[in-house]
Amino acid sequence: MVILNWNGRRWLEQFLPNVLENSPEAEVIVADNDSSDDSVAFLTEHYPKVRQIILPENLGFCEGYNQALKQVEATYYVLLNSDVEVTPNWLPPMVSLLEQNPKIAACQPKIRSFYQRMHFEYAGAAGGFLDAYGYPFCRGRIFDSLEQDCGQYDDTLPVFWATGACMLVRASAYWQAQGLEKAFFAHMEEIDLCWRFQNLGYQVYYQGQSTVYHVGGGTLPKDNPRKTFLNFRNGAALLYKNLSDKELNKIFYTRLVLDGVAAVQFLLKGQWKQVQAIWKAHREFFGQKGAYWKEKRQALPVKKETTQLTGWYGHSVVWQYFIKGRKTFKDLHVPDGAALPA
Protein backbone atom coordinates (compact mmCIF):
# COMPACT_ATOMS: atom_id res chain seq x y z
CA MET A 1 0.00 0.00 0.00
CA VAL A 2 1.48 3.33 -1.07
CA ILE A 3 0.36 6.69 0.27
CA LEU A 4 1.67 9.47 -1.97
CA ASN A 5 2.39 12.52 0.16
CA TRP A 6 3.06 16.14 -0.74
CA ASN A 7 3.12 18.61 2.14
CA GLY A 8 0.55 16.49 3.93
CA ARG A 9 2.06 16.14 7.39
CA ARG A 10 -1.30 17.07 8.99
CA TRP A 11 -3.08 14.28 7.08
CA LEU A 12 -0.39 11.74 7.95
CA GLU A 13 -0.59 12.70 11.60
CA GLN A 14 -4.38 12.39 11.54
CA PHE A 15 -4.93 9.31 9.38
CA LEU A 16 -1.78 7.16 9.28
CA PRO A 17 -2.42 5.57 12.72
CA ASN A 18 -5.87 4.53 11.50
CA VAL A 19 -4.46 3.02 8.29
CA LEU A 20 -1.80 1.07 10.19
CA GLU A 21 -4.31 -0.24 12.72
CA ASN A 22 -6.88 -1.37 10.16
CA SER A 23 -4.56 -2.73 7.44
CA PRO A 24 -2.55 -5.48 9.18
CA GLU A 25 -2.42 -7.56 5.99
CA ALA A 26 -0.59 -4.85 4.00
CA GLU A 27 2.79 -3.15 4.11
CA VAL A 28 2.16 0.58 4.38
CA ILE A 29 4.63 2.75 2.45
CA VAL A 30 4.73 6.53 2.23
CA ALA A 31 6.17 8.00 -0.97
CA ASP A 32 7.12 11.63 -0.49
CA ASN A 33 6.79 13.92 -3.51
CA ASP A 34 9.54 16.35 -2.44
CA SER A 35 7.51 17.94 0.35
CA SER A 36 8.64 21.29 1.71
CA ASP A 37 6.94 20.75 5.09
CA ASP A 38 8.24 18.43 7.81
CA SER A 39 6.44 15.29 6.58
CA VAL A 40 9.63 13.24 6.23
CA ALA A 41 11.00 14.30 9.61
CA PHE A 42 7.65 13.57 11.24
CA LEU A 43 7.52 10.05 9.82
CA THR A 44 11.14 9.34 10.68
CA GLU A 45 10.60 10.38 14.29
CA HIS A 46 7.17 8.93 14.99
CA TYR A 47 6.88 6.01 12.53
CA PRO A 48 10.43 4.73 11.96
CA LYS A 49 9.14 1.30 10.90
CA VAL A 50 7.08 2.75 8.03
CA ARG A 51 9.06 2.51 4.82
CA GLN A 52 9.59 5.81 3.03
CA ILE A 53 10.30 6.34 -0.66
CA ILE A 54 11.78 9.80 -1.17
CA LEU A 55 11.21 11.22 -4.65
CA PRO A 56 13.69 13.87 -5.87
CA GLU A 57 11.07 16.39 -6.99
CA ASN A 58 7.31 16.90 -7.05
CA LEU A 59 6.40 14.56 -9.89
CA GLY A 60 2.66 14.98 -9.46
CA PHE A 61 0.15 12.26 -8.66
CA CYS A 62 0.75 10.24 -11.81
CA GLU A 63 4.50 10.05 -12.18
CA GLY A 64 4.90 10.15 -8.42
CA TYR A 65 3.02 6.89 -8.17
CA ASN A 66 4.74 5.42 -11.23
CA GLN A 67 8.19 6.01 -9.79
CA ALA A 68 7.21 4.86 -6.30
CA LEU A 69 5.50 1.67 -7.47
CA LYS A 70 8.57 0.69 -9.49
CA GLN A 71 10.26 0.28 -6.12
CA VAL A 72 7.54 -1.96 -4.66
CA GLU A 73 7.41 -5.74 -5.14
CA ALA A 74 3.81 -6.88 -4.75
CA THR A 75 1.02 -8.78 -6.48
CA TYR A 76 -1.41 -5.95 -5.77
CA TYR A 77 -0.92 -2.25 -5.17
CA VAL A 78 -3.14 -0.03 -3.08
CA LEU A 79 -3.11 3.63 -4.07
CA LEU A 80 -4.39 5.52 -1.05
CA ASN A 81 -4.75 9.27 -0.54
CA SER A 82 -3.27 10.63 2.67
CA ASP A 83 -6.65 12.14 3.67
CA VAL A 84 -8.52 8.82 3.82
CA GLU A 85 -9.81 7.11 6.97
CA VAL A 86 -10.20 3.37 6.51
CA THR A 87 -12.41 1.00 8.51
CA PRO A 88 -11.83 -2.44 10.08
CA ASN A 89 -11.64 -5.22 7.48
CA TRP A 90 -11.81 -2.76 4.58
CA LEU A 91 -9.11 -4.39 2.47
CA PRO A 92 -9.88 -8.17 2.43
CA PRO A 93 -13.16 -7.89 0.44
CA MET A 94 -11.34 -6.08 -2.35
CA VAL A 95 -8.38 -8.45 -2.38
CA SER A 96 -10.78 -11.42 -2.44
CA LEU A 97 -12.52 -9.93 -5.47
CA LEU A 98 -9.29 -9.78 -7.48
CA GLU A 99 -8.21 -13.21 -6.23
CA GLN A 100 -11.44 -14.75 -7.50
CA ASN A 101 -11.32 -13.16 -10.96
CA PRO A 102 -7.98 -12.62 -12.75
CA LYS A 103 -9.70 -10.42 -15.35
CA ILE A 104 -10.39 -7.71 -12.77
CA ALA A 105 -7.56 -5.17 -12.94
CA ALA A 106 -8.73 -2.78 -10.24
CA CYS A 107 -11.47 -2.07 -7.75
CA GLN A 108 -12.51 0.59 -5.27
CA PRO A 109 -14.45 0.56 -2.00
CA LYS A 110 -17.47 2.64 -1.09
CA ILE A 111 -16.25 6.22 -0.60
CA ARG A 112 -18.11 8.20 2.03
CA SER A 113 -17.54 11.80 3.10
CA PHE A 114 -15.35 12.25 6.15
CA TYR A 115 -17.36 15.27 7.28
CA GLN A 116 -20.87 14.13 6.27
CA ARG A 117 -20.39 10.55 7.18
CA MET A 118 -23.71 9.17 5.95
CA HIS A 119 -23.23 10.74 2.52
CA PHE A 120 -21.11 9.65 -0.40
CA GLU A 121 -17.97 11.61 -1.20
CA TYR A 122 -17.32 13.41 -4.46
CA ALA A 123 -14.21 11.51 -5.58
CA GLY A 124 -15.50 8.03 -6.35
CA ALA A 125 -18.68 7.55 -4.29
CA ALA A 126 -20.07 4.11 -5.30
CA GLY A 127 -18.18 3.60 -8.54
CA GLY A 128 -17.44 5.72 -11.58
CA PHE A 129 -19.18 6.07 -14.95
CA LEU A 130 -18.56 8.17 -18.05
CA ASP A 131 -21.16 9.91 -20.20
CA ALA A 132 -21.30 10.19 -23.98
CA TYR A 133 -18.99 13.23 -24.02
CA GLY A 134 -16.50 12.11 -21.43
CA TYR A 135 -17.97 13.74 -18.32
CA PRO A 136 -17.43 11.53 -15.26
CA PHE A 137 -20.06 10.85 -12.63
CA CYS A 138 -20.65 8.23 -9.96
CA ARG A 139 -23.35 6.21 -8.38
CA GLY A 140 -24.13 8.35 -5.38
CA ARG A 141 -22.70 11.54 -6.90
CA ILE A 142 -23.69 13.44 -10.02
CA PHE A 143 -21.85 16.76 -10.30
CA ASP A 144 -22.24 18.34 -6.84
CA SER A 145 -25.31 16.33 -5.78
CA LEU A 146 -24.29 13.77 -3.17
CA GLU A 147 -26.68 11.04 -2.08
CA GLN A 148 -27.10 9.76 1.45
CA ASP A 149 -25.94 6.18 1.86
CA CYS A 150 -29.07 4.17 2.65
CA GLY A 151 -27.62 0.85 1.54
CA GLN A 152 -28.67 1.37 -2.09
CA TYR A 153 -25.12 0.67 -3.29
CA ASP A 154 -24.04 -2.18 -1.04
CA ASP A 155 -23.57 -4.38 -4.09
CA THR A 156 -20.49 -5.44 -6.04
CA LEU A 157 -20.43 -4.76 -9.77
CA PRO A 158 -18.28 -3.67 -12.74
CA VAL A 159 -17.96 0.07 -13.38
CA PHE A 160 -16.11 2.26 -15.85
CA TRP A 161 -13.55 3.68 -13.43
CA ALA A 162 -12.35 3.30 -9.87
CA THR A 163 -11.20 6.31 -7.89
CA GLY A 164 -7.51 7.04 -7.43
CA ALA A 165 -8.28 8.18 -3.89
CA CYS A 166 -8.47 4.53 -2.87
CA MET A 167 -7.78 1.93 -5.54
CA LEU A 168 -6.63 -1.67 -5.33
CA VAL A 169 -4.91 -2.58 -8.59
CA ARG A 170 -3.33 -5.73 -9.97
CA ALA A 171 0.37 -4.94 -10.38
CA SER A 172 0.81 -6.89 -13.62
CA ALA A 173 -2.17 -5.11 -15.22
CA TYR A 174 -0.91 -1.73 -14.02
CA TRP A 175 2.34 -2.10 -15.92
CA GLN A 176 0.72 -3.80 -18.90
CA ALA A 177 -1.42 -0.66 -19.25
CA GLN A 178 1.75 1.49 -18.94
CA GLY A 179 0.85 2.94 -15.55
CA LEU A 180 -0.64 6.35 -14.93
CA GLU A 181 -0.31 8.95 -17.68
CA LYS A 182 2.66 11.14 -16.70
CA ALA A 183 1.49 14.15 -18.72
CA PHE A 184 -1.81 14.31 -16.82
CA PHE A 185 0.16 15.23 -13.65
CA ALA A 186 -3.06 14.88 -11.61
CA HIS A 187 -6.85 14.60 -12.09
CA MET A 188 -8.75 12.29 -14.48
CA GLU A 189 -5.71 9.98 -14.42
CA GLU A 190 -7.57 7.04 -12.89
CA ILE A 191 -10.29 7.27 -15.57
CA ASP A 192 -7.66 7.15 -18.28
CA LEU A 193 -5.98 4.15 -16.65
CA CYS A 194 -9.28 2.29 -16.22
CA TRP A 195 -10.21 2.97 -19.84
CA ARG A 196 -6.92 1.40 -20.90
CA PHE A 197 -7.66 -1.57 -18.64
CA GLN A 198 -10.93 -2.13 -20.48
CA ASN A 199 -9.26 -1.79 -23.88
CA LEU A 200 -6.85 -4.53 -22.76
CA GLY A 201 -9.74 -6.82 -21.87
CA TYR A 202 -9.78 -6.28 -18.10
CA GLN A 203 -12.66 -5.23 -15.87
CA VAL A 204 -12.87 -2.56 -13.18
CA TYR A 205 -15.06 -3.13 -10.13
CA TYR A 206 -16.78 -1.47 -7.21
CA GLN A 207 -16.78 -3.44 -3.94
CA GLY A 208 -19.65 -2.23 -1.78
CA GLN A 209 -18.66 -4.42 1.16
CA SER A 210 -15.69 -2.20 1.89
CA THR A 211 -15.98 1.39 3.15
CA VAL A 212 -13.56 4.29 3.62
CA TYR A 213 -14.03 7.98 4.45
CA HIS A 214 -12.39 10.67 2.32
CA VAL A 215 -11.80 14.30 3.23
CA GLY A 216 -11.30 15.39 -0.41
CA GLY A 217 -9.64 18.52 -1.74
CA GLY A 218 -6.64 17.98 0.49
CA THR A 219 -4.21 19.22 -2.17
CA LEU A 220 -6.42 21.34 -4.45
CA PRO A 221 -9.96 22.51 -3.54
CA LYS A 222 -12.66 21.92 -6.17
CA ASP A 223 -12.91 25.61 -7.08
CA ASN A 224 -9.17 26.10 -7.55
CA PRO A 225 -8.39 27.32 -11.12
CA ARG A 226 -5.42 24.93 -11.26
CA LYS A 227 -7.80 22.01 -10.72
CA THR A 228 -10.14 23.42 -13.40
CA PHE A 229 -7.22 23.62 -15.82
CA LEU A 230 -6.13 20.04 -15.15
CA ASN A 231 -9.66 18.65 -15.40
CA PHE A 232 -10.45 20.34 -18.73
CA ARG A 233 -7.06 19.68 -20.32
CA ASN A 234 -7.00 16.07 -19.15
CA GLY A 235 -10.65 15.60 -20.11
CA ALA A 236 -9.77 16.47 -23.72
CA ALA A 237 -6.70 14.24 -23.65
CA LEU A 238 -8.70 11.38 -22.12
CA LEU A 239 -11.09 11.27 -25.07
CA TYR A 240 -8.46 11.91 -27.73
CA LYS A 241 -6.22 9.12 -26.44
CA ASN A 242 -8.85 6.44 -25.93
CA LEU A 243 -11.69 6.88 -28.42
CA SER A 244 -11.76 4.67 -31.49
CA ASP A 245 -11.10 6.32 -34.84
CA LYS A 246 -14.76 5.84 -35.75
CA GLU A 247 -15.99 7.74 -32.71
CA LEU A 248 -13.34 10.40 -32.37
CA ASN A 249 -14.87 13.13 -34.52
CA LYS A 250 -18.41 12.46 -33.34
CA ILE A 251 -17.64 12.73 -29.64
CA PHE A 252 -14.41 14.69 -29.21
CA TYR A 253 -15.35 17.97 -30.85
CA THR A 254 -18.80 18.02 -29.28
CA ARG A 255 -17.05 17.81 -25.91
CA LEU A 256 -14.91 20.83 -26.78
CA VAL A 257 -18.07 22.82 -27.59
CA LEU A 258 -19.56 21.81 -24.24
CA ASP A 259 -16.37 22.97 -22.55
CA GLY A 260 -16.97 26.33 -24.22
CA VAL A 261 -20.48 26.42 -22.78
CA ALA A 262 -19.00 25.78 -19.34
CA ALA A 263 -16.63 28.70 -19.86
CA VAL A 264 -19.57 30.96 -20.72
CA GLN A 265 -21.31 29.89 -17.50
CA PHE A 266 -18.24 30.85 -15.49
CA LEU A 267 -18.09 34.14 -17.38
CA LEU A 268 -21.69 34.98 -16.51
CA LYS A 269 -20.87 34.35 -12.86
CA GLY A 270 -17.85 36.65 -13.02
CA GLN A 271 -15.42 33.81 -12.37
CA TRP A 272 -12.70 35.09 -14.67
CA LYS A 273 -9.95 32.81 -13.37
CA GLN A 274 -12.05 29.75 -14.19
CA VAL A 275 -12.63 31.02 -17.74
CA GLN A 276 -8.91 31.58 -18.14
CA ALA A 277 -8.22 28.08 -16.82
CA ILE A 278 -10.45 26.48 -19.49
CA TRP A 279 -8.90 28.62 -22.24
CA LYS A 280 -5.43 27.71 -21.05
CA ALA A 281 -6.38 24.01 -20.90
CA HIS A 282 -7.47 23.96 -24.55
CA ARG A 283 -4.49 26.04 -25.64
CA GLU A 284 -2.05 23.63 -24.03
CA PHE A 285 -3.84 20.57 -25.35
CA PHE A 286 -3.74 21.80 -28.95
CA GLY A 287 -0.42 23.62 -28.59
CA GLN A 288 2.93 22.22 -27.60
CA LYS A 289 1.39 19.07 -26.15
CA GLY A 290 -0.42 18.22 -29.38
CA ALA A 291 2.38 16.08 -30.78
CA TYR A 292 2.72 14.25 -27.48
CA TRP A 293 -0.95 13.32 -27.32
CA LYS A 294 -0.82 12.11 -30.91
CA GLU A 295 2.10 9.84 -30.13
CA LYS A 296 0.33 8.46 -27.08
CA ARG A 297 -2.84 7.81 -29.05
CA GLN A 298 -0.92 5.84 -31.67
CA ALA A 299 0.96 3.83 -29.04
CA LEU A 300 -2.09 2.66 -27.06
CA PRO A 301 -3.67 -0.80 -27.41
CA VAL A 302 -6.51 -1.39 -29.87
CA LYS A 303 -9.44 0.76 -28.78
CA LYS A 304 -12.86 -0.71 -28.16
CA GLU A 305 -16.04 0.98 -29.34
CA THR A 306 -17.72 2.79 -26.48
CA THR A 307 -20.72 0.45 -26.73
CA GLN A 308 -18.36 -2.35 -25.62
CA LEU A 309 -17.23 -0.52 -22.49
CA THR A 310 -18.77 -1.29 -19.11
CA GLY A 311 -20.03 1.85 -17.37
CA TRP A 312 -20.24 3.98 -20.52
CA TYR A 313 -23.47 6.00 -20.35
CA GLY A 314 -24.19 6.68 -24.01
CA HIS A 315 -26.10 9.90 -23.35
CA SER A 316 -25.43 13.31 -21.85
CA VAL A 317 -25.38 13.45 -18.07
CA VAL A 318 -25.12 17.25 -18.45
CA TRP A 319 -28.50 17.32 -20.20
CA GLN A 320 -30.09 14.92 -17.72
CA TYR A 321 -28.83 16.85 -14.70
CA PHE A 322 -29.15 20.50 -15.69
CA ILE A 323 -32.08 20.39 -18.13
CA LYS A 324 -34.13 17.40 -16.96
CA GLY A 325 -33.36 17.93 -13.27
CA ARG A 326 -32.35 14.33 -12.64
CA LYS A 327 -29.97 14.52 -9.70
CA THR A 328 -29.48 10.88 -8.71
CA PHE A 329 -28.10 7.87 -10.51
CA LYS A 330 -31.36 5.91 -10.43
CA ASP A 331 -33.20 8.83 -12.05
CA LEU A 332 -30.99 8.98 -15.14
CA HIS A 333 -33.02 8.47 -18.28
CA VAL A 334 -31.76 5.79 -20.64
CA PRO A 335 -33.79 5.54 -23.87
CA ASP A 336 -34.61 2.42 -25.88
CA GLY A 337 -35.05 0.18 -22.87
CA ALA A 338 -31.36 0.12 -21.99
CA ALA A 339 -30.36 0.37 -18.35
CA LEU A 340 -27.35 1.22 -16.26
CA PRO A 341 -26.60 -1.06 -13.32
CA ALA A 342 -28.67 0.04 -10.34
Is 60 exceeded by the pLDDT of residue 219?
no
Tell me which H or E stretch contains 261: helix 245-268
Say which amino acid occupies 291: A
Phi, psi torsion values for 305, nearest 5 degrees: -65, 150
Query: 2-214, superfamily in CATH?
Result: Spore Coat Polysaccharide Biosynthesis Protein SpsA; Chain A (3.90.550.10)
Phi and psi based region of residue 118 (left: phi greater than 0; alpha: psi -120 to 50; beta: remaining):
alpha
Q: Which residue has the higher pLDDT, 59 or 341?
A: 59
Q: Give the residue-averaged pLDDT of 172-188.
A: 95
pLDDT, tens digit (0-9, with 9 covering 90-100), for 95-134: 999 999 999 999 999 999 999 999 999 999 999 999 999 9
Percentage of residues of the chain with pLDDT beyond 90: 87
Boundaries of every domain in the chain: 2-214, 225-309
Is 60 exceeded by the pLDDT of residue 168?
yes
What's 116's DSSP letter? Answer: S
Closest CA to 109 of 134, 128, 137, 135: 128
Distance between CA atoms of residues 332 and 325, nearest Å: 9
Please, what is the end-to-end C-alpha distance for the chain in angstroms?
30
Could you tell me the sign of the dihedral formed by the alpha carbons of 119, 124, 128, 134, in that order?
positive
pLDDT for the residue numbered 222: 66
CB atoms within 10 A of CB 145: 14
Is 50 exceeded by the pLDDT of residue 337?
no
pLDDT, tens digit (0-9, with 9 covering 90-100), for 268-302: 999 999 999 999 999 999 986 788 899 999 988 88
Q: Give the residue-averaged pLDDT of 306-314.
A: 95
pLDDT, tens digit (0-9, with 9 covering 90-100), for 236-250: 999 999 999 989 988
pLDDT, tens digit (0-9, with 9 covering 90-100), for 35-53: 999 999 999 999 999 999 9
Question: How many CA within 13 A on the CB side of residue 82?
Answer: 23
